[in-house]
Amino acid sequence: MTAPRRAAVLGSPIAHSLSPVLHRTAYAELGLADWSYDRFDVDETALPEFLANLGPDWAGLSLTMPLKRAVIPLLDEISETAASVEAVNTVVFTRDGRRAGDNTDIPGMVAALRERGIEEVDSAAILGAGATASSALAALARICTGEVVVYVRSDARAAEMRQWGERLDIEVRTEDWADAAEALHRPLVIATTPAGATDALSGTVPERPATLFDVLYDPWPTELAARWSAYGGAVVSGLDLLVHQAVLQVEQMTGRTPAPLDAMRKAGEHALAAR
């Protein structure tokens, strides 16, 4: 019998996180009966003490807002992927006691798109310029051969996104949010905005839309995603992203591959339907 191992998701607020459902499903499918996965409401102030009090039975942590940047100074090392966007959503505790940080959102986005047959695009658009937008830009740096147009609400956000473009070595042009309907004609549109922010755009979906990646999953579908689907366009959801990034977390924390993608997705869908 192996020693019990623990993992959890941290953030604030955290009550509605689907991560416990996804990770526990993976453990069950992988036969890891002695593994547990919990959720803890932890903010930036409480994070250092929380980490300091973890014992040797801890395998890893999933991090959500507002901890993805706050955790970096508390780690021994971070991956190039995490460093590229200054955001860590995964911490693995190594056998020699080190805290290693990674970002599975970026490869998770790429994997979710690849699952729908999107391997490469010649241009793309991003709606919004918050924390998720930088991860979206990093994902596009891997699959987009041309420019990315980012639609923003402020000059400050526009400047930030152009700086991210330079850092990630991808061509970025910024446009005002008032012109966001133009984004919908691109071969790939990634919506990174909060619930309701893109509702007004649903009436401007073109007759033959290409691919929409909407990072929201609750409530789902968004008005934009529903109209996009009705017009025959391909839609990748926030649940697709959540599951793919969780698959990578499970594999890193447990050392077992492949993680059960289909079972984790079905568990997530069931949990959302029950809400």
Predicted pLDDT of residue 58: 97
Residue 68: active-site member = yes
For residues 104 and 90, is the Cβ–Cβ distance under 8 A?
A: yes
Kindly give, in sequence order, each residue whose CB lies less than 8 Å from that of residue 168, ignoring residues fewer than 6 positions away.
84, 85, 137, 138, 141
Taking residues 170-191, report their average pLDDT.
Answer: 98
Mean pLDDT across the chain: 96
Cross-sheet strand order for the sheet of 35-41: 35-41, 5-11, 58-63, 90-93, 99-102, 77-78
Taking residues 168-195, report their average pLDDT.
Answer: 97
Position 1 confidence tier, pLDDT thresholds 50, 70, 90: very low
Taking residues 60-68, report their average pLDDT.
Answer: 97
Position 4 confidence tier, pLDDT thresholds 50, 70, 90: confident
Position 2 confidence tier, pLDDT thresholds 50, 70, 90: low
CA distances to 192, 196, 201, 220 from 226, in Å: 16, 13, 11, 9
Taking residues 41-52, report their average pLDDT.
Answer: 98
Q: Which of 5, 24, 39, 68 is catalytic?
A: 68
For the stretch 236-265, pLDDT in tens is 999 999 999 999 999 999 999 999 999 999
Position 3 confidence tier, pLDDT thresholds 50, 70, 90: confident
Predicted pLDDT of residue 209: 98
Rg value, the chain, Cα: 19
Predicted pLDDT of residue 130: 87
pLDDT at 93 over 60: yes
Pairing mode of beta strands 148-152, 90-93: unpaired
Mean pLDDT lowest among 1-15, 158-172, 221-235:
1-15
CA distance 59 to 69: 20
Taking residues 224-228, report their average pLDDT.
Answer: 98
Taking residues 21-48, report their average pLDDT.
Answer: 98
CA distance 151 to 127: 5
For the stretch 113-126, pLDDT in tens is 999 999 999 999 99
With pLDDT > 70 as the criterion, what percentage of the chain qualifies? 99
H/E element holding 109?
A: helix 105-115
